[in-house]
């Protein structure tokens, strides 16, 4: 009997140790990612905080980059300079693409910004049977070798929910990608439905 309890105790210690290690590792990776994200936009932050005159041409490179687009819009809004943001990127799809790219970068998700991303379609649901509509923007994305997910080809990501009155860079509460959902296995509508029922409606 003592041996049984020793084995159970050893397994419990191992499980707890793995959980603690994973937590420490993920926290360290998140900290490193946040530092990298800050470094990407630091020149823009410095100029905004020193009240330097900025031109739309200076803003565009930050807005065009998926990983800095969303933050750039937020920074400009905070400094009341959102008029400098490129008009062609001031739309729901562009904002959603940046939000998905940032979400995928987390070490607990894809751990990388996609090498390629394309908008597929908007999927709409009547979520309460009273013609109150919610919208989800569905994207396909892929990564190149040597990333572990390169072999899966085009994967699906969903951003939302949005409403008819949503603004381009409103925060979507249910951005998600199962990563294993590839375009040859799941349709955009099926993936949006899964996210709506399993992520958005459970928050």
Is residue 117 within 8 Å of residue 177, measured between CB atoms?
A: no
- DSSP character at residue 121: E
Q: Within 10 A of 100 (CB to CB), how many other CB atoms are there?
A: 28
Q: Is 50 exceeded by the pLDDT of residue 153?
A: yes
- The pLDDT-based confidence of 6 (bands split at 50, 70, 90) is low
Is residue 82 within 8 Å of residue 177, measured between CB atoms?
A: no
- The pLDDT-based confidence of 20 (bands split at 50, 70, 90) is very low
The helix-helix angle for 66-78 and 92-104 (nearest 10°) equals 120
Q: Is 70 exceeded by the pLDDT of residue 31?
A: no
Q: Which helix (H) or strand (E) holds 67?
A: helix 66-78
Mean pLDDT within 41-46:
90
Q: Is the peptide bond before 54 cis (omega within 30 degrees of 0)?
A: no
| 83 SS3 class | helix
Angle at 96 between CA 60 and CA 123, to 5 degrees: 140
Mean pLDDT within 68-73:
95
Q: Is 80 exceeded by the pLDDT of residue 71?
A: yes
Q: What pLDDT digit, counting tens, does each position of 74-93 carry?
A: 999 999 999 999 999 999 99
Q: Is 90 exceeded by the pLDDT of residue 5?
A: no
Residues present in the chain in total: 203
């Amino acid at each position: 009997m003592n041996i049984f309890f020793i084995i159970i105790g050893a397994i419990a210690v191992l499980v707890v140790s793995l959980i603690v290690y994973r937590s420490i590792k993920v926290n360290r990776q998140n900290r490193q990612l946040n530092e990298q994200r800050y470094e990407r936009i630091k020149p823009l932050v410095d100029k905004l905080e020193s009240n330097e005159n900025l031109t739309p041409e200076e803003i565009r490179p930050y807005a065009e980059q998926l990983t800095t687009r969303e933050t750039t819009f937020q920074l400009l809004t905070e400094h009341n300079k959102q008029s400098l943001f490129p008009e062609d990127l001031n739309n729901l799809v562009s904002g959603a693409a940046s939000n998905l790219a940032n979400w995928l970068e987390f070490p607990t998700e894809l751990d990388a910004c996609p090498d390629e991303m394309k908008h597929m379609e908007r999927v709409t649901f009547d979520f309460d049977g009273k013609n109150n509509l919610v919208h989800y923007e569905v994207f396909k994305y892929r990564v190149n070798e040597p990333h572990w997910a390169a072999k899966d080809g085009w994967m699906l990501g969903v951003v939302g929910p949005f409403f008819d009155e949503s603004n381009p860079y409103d925060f979507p509460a249910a951005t998600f990608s199962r990563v294993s959902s590839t375009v040859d296995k799941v349709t955009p509508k099926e993936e949006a439905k899964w996210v709506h029922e399993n992520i958005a409606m459970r928050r």
